Structure 1
Amino acid sequence: MPGLLSSIQRFDLSTGISEDVWAILYANAARANLILPHAEKVFGRQRFTPKISSTEQLWLVYLNPRTSEIQFILSLTTGPQAKYPLFIVPTVPIAELTPKFLKSPMEALCNALLNESGFRKQRVFSAFSVEPVTEAFALAWEKFTGIARIKEPYYSSIYSTCTKSTLVRQQRAPRPSEDVALAPRLASEQDVEQMTVLCQEFAATSPPFVLSTEKSREEAMLLIANKQVWVHEIQKPNRKPEIATIVAVTRKSKDVAAITKVYTPEKWRGRGCAERLVRHVCIELLEKYEELVLYVGVDNSAKEVYSRVGFQDLRPGSASERWLELGFDQAKVELGHW
């Protein structure tokens, strides 16, 4: 129809991100934590070691063609170690995300990507968003590229938040034991060797995004250098302390921080280590941030741990918000890593 505004805006390193898009990202900072913190790092709005050097950074914004209202923000970006999945953040109410509503925006985003100069369709190895958005994007991407989605999701998760008002501060009493639980602390350089092993073990739980020992060490060193990971140690009698649980917080913006990695090796499970460390980290973070977010697998028993700490909508029967990652035919794409 005559007079309709262009529905897609694009931004990259050379153009920067417009102030109206920054404003929308900050206004939706919790849900936009997949996109906002990385964009801040790329454009120097927050400190990060080392500076992200990759030039492969692209953001597409879908606007309502009639009103110019920003409705979806897509990112196809590269982090300090690897290329990220395609992320899409909706800014409209989740209840409105019907297949009919989503068809046109998702097809427009697919067309915009495929018309991008130098773009290779193999770059899109997976997509992660609110469940109906991921489904609609995958359907459109299959249609336009002929690259089939993998039916079994890489990650089916629940989006959850915790604030000062929902935080549960009291600790459960630890089980009687001769082992000594040391005070939680930020990881330091002395932890690199143990952290390397734990990063590799954690990645192994999320195929196909496994890590080599070299990449695991690189990740461990980045987490430690940027003060993004806490550890909880246990010391057995007459033994050196061992890291029993790690909690990483890698996506932070002005008012929101995201817990992005929680891992307890099998030998330490069942002792309440994860709950104690997650609670400690949440208490520390909520001194500075207004809201904490995380994604937890739908079938992950850790939901109970997070719920006891104060994360919302994780109990059976709650009105939880589902987020879904779908991968595409691995023979036709180039895998990256979260």
Structure 2
Amino acid sequence: MSGTLYGTGNNVARANVILPHAEKVSSHQEFLPGSEQFWLVYSEPTPSNIRFILSCTEGPLGKYPLFIVPVAPIRLTPELLQDPMEAFCEALLNEVDFRRQRVFSVFSVEPVAKAFASAWEKIAEIRCIDEPYYDAFFSMCTPETLVRDGPQSTDGEIELRLAVSQDAVKISTLCQEFAEYFGMSAPPFFLSDKQASEEARLLIENGQVWVYEIKEGGGETDIASIVAATRQSDTVAAITKVYTPEKWQRKGRAERLVRRVCRELLKTHEQVVLYVDAKNTGAQRLYNRVGFRDLCGETPEHWLEIGFDRGEVEVGHW
């Protein structure tokens, strides 16, 4: 992406990382008292010409990383990114009651994440961690790209459905396993029993998690896979968690559930987006078979979460 013109194309899809939460906070003022919810914009040459939006917010499980979204066509070179990222750093440090330990990581398209991390390291004097917490490609599925039918299940009696309260214990366990297995490649993002239980409760109450339920030979049922979609605006929904325990892997169950979830989400949204680990070629092939495509054509859009020295920051969660 460095040196290429970024911001041409679907900015609504890119903004999904911050927009649904912004809409939730603006329509539910009870989120505001005592919580950290603010956004910064960088504009040039006039205030109406916004180039970047930075969000510094928190959710039920803790404080989110800083999210930065480019919203206007701009070449993402280190030289052009230095001024806006340094301006963001200065604005954050000048914010009333803001503490530099709050910035435990930043997530954005690769050149932006690197430019901010470099600027924050210099200005806030907190070292960034060499290995990214998350290294991912951004992709999108639409009604036109969705592959609606795939291989049939050989599992016998199954049900693909929204989760209900009776699933809470199993989903809590799977959320915890997901965090341990993927964990953004870093222990700070593991879930405690209490956090996993709370996440499962919220996912179920908000109708944001689907399950692949299978009946085993002895008549007992189990959840073979889960798919969560937690960021939804009027036109875009994001799949944010896909997990299949080792026992149930390699039989196409996650693919069938992702396809079912996409069919449901695309009834009310124009696009479904997700981030997929850049090193997980198996997951990339799975999403491709369902109908996910790179946002910018043949070149995958690369996003990074870069963390900062865990000895100096207060780690959050997302």
Q: TM-score, normalised by structure 1?
A: 0.86
Q: Distance in 2 between matches of 1:319 and 1:45?
A: 38
Equivalent position amino acid for 2:89 in 1: C
1:240 alignment counterpart: 220
1:43 alignment counterpart: 26
Structure 2, unpaired ranges of 5+:
1-6
1:222 alignment counterpart: 202
What do the CA deviations read for 1:71-93 (whole angstroms, capped 9, x no partner)?
00000001122100000000123
Q: How does 1:69-108 map to 2 (within 5 A)?
A: 69-93=49-73, 96-108=75-87
Q: How many residues align?
A: 304
What do the CA deviations read for 1:178-215 (whole angstroms, capped 9, x no partner)?
x4341210000000110110010011121220000111
1:294 aligns with 2:274: yes
2:233 alignment counterpart: 253
Q: CA deviation at 1:67?
A: 6.4
Q: Distance in 2 between matches of 1:56 and 1:33?
A: 19
Tell me the secondary structure at the aligned position of residue 43 of structure 1.
helix
Tell me the secondary structure at the aligned position of residue 199 of structure 2.
helix
Equivalent position amino acid for 1:158 in 2: F
Equivalent position amino acid for 2:19 in 1: L
1:29 aligns with 2:12: yes
Q: CA deviation at 1:53?
A: 5.8
Equivalent position amino acid for 2:258 in 1: V
Q: Distance in 2 between matches of 1:110 and 1:53?
A: 24
Of the candidates 252, 264, 284, which is equivalent to residue 284 of structure 1? 264
Indicate if the aligned counterparts of 1:124 and 1:333 stay in contact, CA closer than 8 A. yes
Q: CA deviation at 1:28?
A: 3.0
2:45 alignment counterpart: 65
Equivalent position amino acid for 1:41 in 2: K
Q: CA deviation at 1:146?
A: 1.1
Indicate if the aligned counterparts of 1:86 and 1:124 stay in contact, CA closer than 8 A. yes
Q: CA deviation at 1:155?
A: 0.4
Of the candidates 285, 289, 295, which is equivalent to residue 308 of structure 1? 289
Indicate if the aligned counterparts of 2:159 and 2:214 stay in contact, CA closer than 8 A. no
Structure 1 residue ranges, 4+ long, deviating more than 6 angstroms after superposition: none
Of the candidates 321, 324, 329, which is equivalent to residue 301 of structure 2? 321
Q: How does 1:113-152 map to 2 (within 5 A)?
A: 113-152=92-131
Q: CA deviation at 1:68?
A: 3.9
Equivalent position amino acid for 1:34 in 2: V
Tell me the secondary structure at the aligned position of residue 30 of structure 1.
helix
Q: Distance in 2 between matches of 1:329 and 1:320?
A: 29
Equivalent position amino acid for 1:36 in 2: L
Equivalent position amino acid for 1:225 in 2: E
Structure 1, unpaired ranges of 5+:
1-23
Tell me the secondary structure at the aligned position of residue 333 of structure 1.
coil
Tell me the secondary structure at the aligned position of residue 183 of structure 1.
strand
RCO higher in structure (CA 8 A, sep ≥6): 2
Of the candidates 183, 193, 197, which is equivalent to residue 169 of structure 2? 193
Indicate if the aligned counterparts of 1:53 and 1:80 stay in contact, CA closer than 8 A. no
Q: TM-score, normalised by structure 2?
A: 0.91
Of the candidates 136, 152, 156, which is equivalent to residue 180 of structure 1? 156
Tell me the secondary structure at the aligned position of residue 207 of structure 2.
coil
Q: % of aligned pairs identical?
A: 58
1:156 alignment counterpart: 135
Q: Distance in 1 between matches of 2:315 and 2:107?
A: 14
1:6 alignment counterpart: none
Q: CA deviation at 1:290?
A: 0.4
Q: Distance in 2 between matches of 1:286 and 1:308?
A: 16
